[in-house]
Amino acid sequence: MAYELAYGKTSLSFTLPVGVTPTVILPDEKPGLPDPLAATRDALQKPLGTPPLEEMLRERKNGRIVVVLNDITRPTPYTVMLPPLLESFAKAGVRDEQVTFLVATGIHDGHTEEEKRAIYGAELVNRFSVVNHDAFAADTHVHLGKFKSGYDFYVNKLAVDADFLLTLGVVMPHYFAGYSGGRKSILPGLAGKDTVEKNHARMVELMDNLPPIDENPVSLEMIEAARQVGVDFILNVVVNDKQDVVTVVAGDLEKAWRKAVDVSAAMFEVPFERQADVCVTCACGHPRDINAYQTQKALDHADRITRPGGTIILAAECSAGYGEKVFQEWMSRRWPPVRVMEEVKKNFVMGGHKAYGFAKVAAEKEYYLISTLSREDTELLYAKKTATVQEAVNAAALRHGSHAAWVYMPLGSVSLPIPRALP
Q: Is the pLDDT of residue 47 over 50?
A: yes
User: 119 pLDDT band (50/70/90 cuts)?
Assistant: very high
Least confident of 31-35, 94-98, 201-205, 311-315: 201-205
pLDDT at 423: 46
Q: Active-site positions?
A: 108, 174
Can you tell me the mean pLDDT for 296-309? 96
The pTM score is 0.87
Can you tell me the mean pLDDT for 22-32? 95
- Outline where DSSP puts E strands in 112-161: 129-132, 141-146, 152-156
Least confident of 4-8, 189-193, 208-212: 208-212
Cα(403)–Cα(102) distance, integer angstroms: 53
CA distances from 201 to 38, 213, 315, 353, 361 (A): 41, 17, 28, 8, 18
Can you tell me the mean pLDDT for 116-140? 96
DSSP string, 230-253: T--EEEEEEE-TT--EEEEEEESH
User: What is the DSSP code (8-state) at residue 183?
Assistant: G
pLDDT at 396: 98
**C-alpha angle 338/206/250, rounded to 5°?**
140
3-state secondary structure of 10: strand
103-112 burial, b at 16+ Cβ within 10 Å, e below that, comes to bbbbbbebbe
Q: Is the pLDDT of residue 422 over 60?
A: no
pLDDT at 242: 85
pLDDT tens digit sequence for 213-272: 999 999 999 999 999 999 999 999 999 988 999 999 999 999 999 999 999 999 999 999
407 beta partners: 23, 279
User: 421 pLDDT band (50/70/90 cuts)?
Assistant: low
What domains are there in the chain, each with its CATH number?
2-26+271-419 (3.90.226.30), 36-239 (3.40.50.11440)
Cβ atoms of residues 415 and 407 within 8 Å: no
Better pLDDT: 106 or 382: 382
Cβ atoms of residues 130 and 101 within 8 Å: yes
Q: What are residue 310's phi and psi, to 5 degrees? A: -85, -175
pLDDT at 104: 97
User: 84 pLDDT band (50/70/90 cuts)?
Assistant: very high
User: 73 pLDDT band (50/70/90 cuts)?
Assistant: confident
pLDDT tens digit sequence for 261-301: 999 999 999 999 999 999 999 999 998 999 999 999 999 99
pLDDT > 70 in the chain, percent: 99
Cα(246)–Cα(264) distance, integer angstroms: 9
pLDDT tens digit sequence for 151-203: 999 999 999 999 999 999 999 998 889 999 999 999 999 999 999 999 998 88
Better pLDDT: 62 or 235: 235
43-57 burial, b at 16+ Cβ within 10 Å, e below that, comes to bbeebbebebbbebb
pLDDT at 50: 98
Radius of gyration for the chain, computed over Cα atoms and rounded to the nearest angstrom = 22
pLDDT tens digit sequence for 342-389: 999 999 988 899 999 999 999 999 999 999 999 999 999 999 999 999
Summary mean pLDDT of the chain: 95
**Containing H/E element for 57?**
helix 53-59
